[in-house]
Structure 1
Amino acid sequence: MAGSLWLRLLVFPVCSYVFFYGLFALRAPNPSFVFGKTEALWAALIAGSFAWLALNKWIVIRRIRSELDMAGRFELADGKRAVVSGRVRAVGSPLESPCAGARCIAYRYKVVHRASTGTLGDSAGSHMMTDYRGYAMTPSVVRGATRSVSILAETDNIEFLILKPGLDALDGEEIKGEAARERIRRYLGAINFGDECNDRMNAGRQARTKAAYVAPGDFRTDTCAMDAGPVSEDNHLFETVIAEGEPFLVSGIYDADRNGIGPGANSTLEPLRLIRGGNAAHKADLAGKRKTITVAWGLALLTSAVYFMNFV
């Protein structure tokens, strides 16, 4: 994993740029070179960027292929990367999401309001301010073809790695209606946030956080802005859930003592990944990245052709 990170961040971009710059510096009679041309520098930067994108996607495709292969073999070895594809289930009673009231194994919510910024003579506008936010997970398993494996998620990756459906829906689905507002009022009303500021919201606002951590995959955190008022019709509710029975592909480090999959000692290099949709979604992602590689290499070749037609 560390090796692929070095390849993606350092080796690939440098090699891509050097390759295309050397290519664009070629002059007849070959193999003579003419360096220092401004147009060659810019063309190499553009073509190299497309090549870098293609090589990055190639690394991801290798990982996806490996995960699909491991999911098919279902081999579990302590301390090694393991991949299980199946449906997620709560070990005990499932959670109830605070906005939609859905039965789930994990949720994330956010309550925001729109605040005005500036004046007509200044920089008028508005942006969303968070009043309440939180997430929770209950002990859960992913049931494969022959056995179940626990999901050992940690609080530092629940929001980003598990509950992020995509950049186009970072906050999750907006839940509308008075029933949802009444449900979140009851949920928040049952929490004793205390009086002491121990956290921060967006724009540096003071906040209070109440957190309960039992074990990996079993925790809850709720945060309230110090100046937040009661939930009203002016608030917008956003929520993301992992529903009971949803198909997921779980990739991480296997812990034989707890029969679970979680992040490694270095969660950056050995992350826990949950892919919504299981094998089918992973295969669709694989096909999409192959198309990206084809387009990226095509654009790199097009840049090369335009350069040689106009500057050589």
Structure 2
Amino acid sequence: MPGARPYDGPMPAHVPSHYEVLGVPVTASEGEIRRAYRRAARAHHPDHGGDVVEFRRVTLAFEVLSDPRARAAYDRSYFTSSPQREGGRPAEGAAAASSAEGRPGAAGFTARPAPRAGGQRNPAGEPAVYVPPFEPGTVPLLPAAVAARAEHGVPRRRGLFGAEARIQREERTAALIRRRILGTIPSARLLNGLRSPRDASHVAHAVLAGYRLALVDSMLVPRGNYAWDGAHLIHGSRTVAPPRLAEQVRDFQDVFGELNVQGYILVQTPDENPHEPVIDVRRGAGALVEPLNASKFVRELTFFLSSGPQPNVVLVPALARLLTGLH
């Protein structure tokens, strides 16, 4: 990848996906999958001295990826349905993945924070490093050109009622992330319109940078001062419930155990003033996801993404899995 520098940190240890077993990218066609299966089956067939366990992996991978419905379900589940097996046991989402920040209960490795010269330099602003690197002779889960793209998907939510307002709100949110986040963190990748792992409901936006994933939704309210009580925004006698993002954060955290997942709700006003609305948080109003105006949203999202371990990394397997979940 042009401009990418070698990565010398620890590599994730994980049970391979069906795509990795066959040695094809997630963008592979039916013909490419069929040809890859024939090559892998010949290499691992027990009659030719191959390993029985590896041959079973190859067979399972082909059974899933050669069936359009099974492949679609596998992709929508972010590779957690019909898993490969390690030691005779099914891989289970987060348990099969590695932990990037050493959270208790997650298997795998702990990523080393990138060094900072003199304790000052923030590596989030450095050129993106791809993990694993794109090397000749290897077949990555994503083509290099796709991994290098900063934005994927369309900021649009399907629906009949209020669709125009939702589309406008999501376009504004994507534009803000594009302008204020992608421009300052080269490794950041914006994905618009993901399916939730639980029920295929819509997740408006996600931003991946390093080993951190931010889920983002938005809401539009009139100008003014609001109070946040932990469940509602209160403006005079009016109360507004924000989007239900906390459950989706938990679902993505369960599936992507190698990432630290957090949620953000951007509160917009019609005039697009980044400091509006003013939101006062009531004492004791704790919540997993707190509504933020544009100014605070940009500040907190930037800090979350740039303060993680190796924030200049593009984790290709995680990005590939997320891309298969786009609407």
Higher helix proportion (structure 1 or 2): 1
Global fold match (TM > 0.5): no
Higher relative contact order (CA 8 A, sep 6+): 1
Higher strand proportion (structure 1 or 2): 1
Say which one has the larger Rg.
1
| TM-score (ref. length: structure 2) | 0.25
